[in-house]
Amino acid sequence: MENASENIKRKIEPEEQAVFLRKKISLFRAVSLLIGTIIGSGIFISPKGVLINSGNVGASLMIWLACGIISMFGALSYAELGTSIKKSGGHYIYLLETLGPLPAFVRLWSEIIVIRPAVTAVVGLSFGRYIVEPFFAPCQAPILAVKLLTAAGVSLVVYVNCCSVNWTARIQTILTFSKLVAMGFIIVPGMMALAQGRYENFQNAFDSNSVTLDRIPLAFYSGMFAYSGWFYMNFVAEEMINPERNIPLAAIFSLIVVTLLYLLANVAYYTVMTADEVLASGAVAVTFGERTLKGLSSVIQILVALSCLGAINGALFAVSRVFFVASRENQWPILFSMIHIRHHTPLPAVLLLYPLVILMIFIGDLYGLLNLNSFPRWLFMGLVTLGLIRHRYKNPDLHRPFKVPIIIPGIFTVLCLFIVVTSLYSDPINTGIGCALTLSGVPVYYLIVCRPQGPAWCRKAHHLFTVKLQILMEVVQQEIVTY
């Protein structure tokens, strides 16, 4: 493998074009990445999930606000971790540094087989639906057409992420702007209707007869899904310019903006549509556009589709760094810690999830996938902030450029674990499947990661296979330490 690396390295100037992940993410790009990733399909599909599980309009709005506050607590906790533990990798590296290798590997395993393919499929199917439906209106779009277009969109995003960090960041900025325009098309007409005195849909907003406490955790799942993405800056900490300043600033500013936008968008929905109409709509934003903008409803659909594409783009850019770091920490095959010699992108790590995502797109159900991935995602977020508390007490003298009151990670940990436990009662099938798939990482860790040697023939075959792929992809290991 070393000979193959040397042969490839001779093609480039070692000093001028050293192979490593460069610091190209400014504060502006960080905010674009976060807002562009958080505002994906969630605000356009999750209002239905929050409402059906919360039981009424008033409770749903309270849950949207609560999810924003909970997310802010999590973002502040992660900002402390990101400025004191200077490695990329987000959840994975923080678990490795605070709770040890087993929780870190199980989190990595669940990211690969459950969380990331399911989330990407959910957002991707929303993209496909919003693009295809205008061509078949007023009839329902064929599901095969939606899935084929979704697969094409995901493939395009993967290609861009393989080719260039700069182009990925530029496209993310453009798609973030399209999201804000889409939100404007929803919020402005809704606020205008509210100013005209259309309050009737908010009467009896807290109808207690329709609230069932056992469904509240699922309402939080839908709401928190819409806010998910505030942690992605920590995945690329080594590529951040001035991370000690920019990670906290980007997280705080982005979440304040997104929480305000989400609350205003939901108020706009309920001003124009009744609760029953929101529940009956397959695409809430489209139905809203048909009511308020008439001929421009198709524009909303295109903007929402671009919003979903931006969420996929930002998430793939960030999550590929998790696999890159895990490989660098010897918990994943070495190939995935390699970087393309010209594009300076972690090409193998970007390609890792592509087959599983395509598979879930064609076999998955939207809301089933949502509940399936939520269990491991929020379980490990709670463990990460629990690890922060433990890290504080184990390393009291460690320099922490950004430090939050200990009660903030404490509250976030308790809420995450509470939602996870109660969801096993609310949706035992999908949550149970997510739990089982997550725990399957434990035997994998002990059988493979803890025993990396294996038979001689197996090691030789793995070495040859890695070398062949390395030459094919034109990738080498990082030449400059970035942490």
CB proximity list for 429: less than 8 A, separation 6 or greater: none
The pLDDT assigned to 143 comes to 85
Query: Reduced to 3 states, what is the DSSP secondary structure of residue 476?
Result: strand
**Closest of 21, 10, 14 to residue 337, by C-alpha:** 21
The answer as to whether 466 is a domain residue is no
**Closest of 82, 415, 434, 21 to residue 232, by C-alpha:** 82
Using an 8 Å Cβ cutoff, are 207 and 55 in contact?
yes
* CATH label of the domain that carries residue 169: 1.20.1740.10
**Torsion angle (degrees, nearest 10) of CA 325, 329, 330, 335:** 30
Peptide bond before residue 138 is cis, with ω within 30 degrees of 0: yes
The pLDDT assigned to 48 comes to 78
The answer as to whether 333 is a domain residue is yes
Q: Whole-model pTM above 0.75?
A: yes
Chain centroid to Cα 475, Å, comes to 26
CA angle 452, 390, 404 (to 5 degrees): 125
The pLDDT assigned to 371 comes to 61
Element containing residue 470 per DSSP (H, E): helix 456-473
Residue ranges making up the domain that contains 80 = 23-459
The answer as to whether 11 is a domain residue is no
The answer as to whether 4 is a domain residue is no
The answer as to whether 475 is a domain residue is no
The CA–CA distances, whole Å, from 16 to 2, 394, 479 equal: 21, 41, 12
The answer as to whether 5 is a domain residue is no
**Main-chain dihedrals φ then ψ at residue 63, nearest 5 degrees:** -70, -40
Local mean pLDDT, 10-residue blocks, the chain (483 residues): 49 56 82 84 73 84 92 93 88 92 92 83 82 75 87 92 86 85 89 87 73 73 82 86 90 93 92 85 77 76 84 86 89 89 88 88 67 77 94 89 93 88 76 84 87 73 88 84 68
Look at the chain and report how many structural domains it folds into.
1
CB proximity list for 28: less than 8 A, separation 6 or greater: 173
The answer as to whether 102 is a domain residue is yes
The answer as to whether 202 is a domain residue is yes
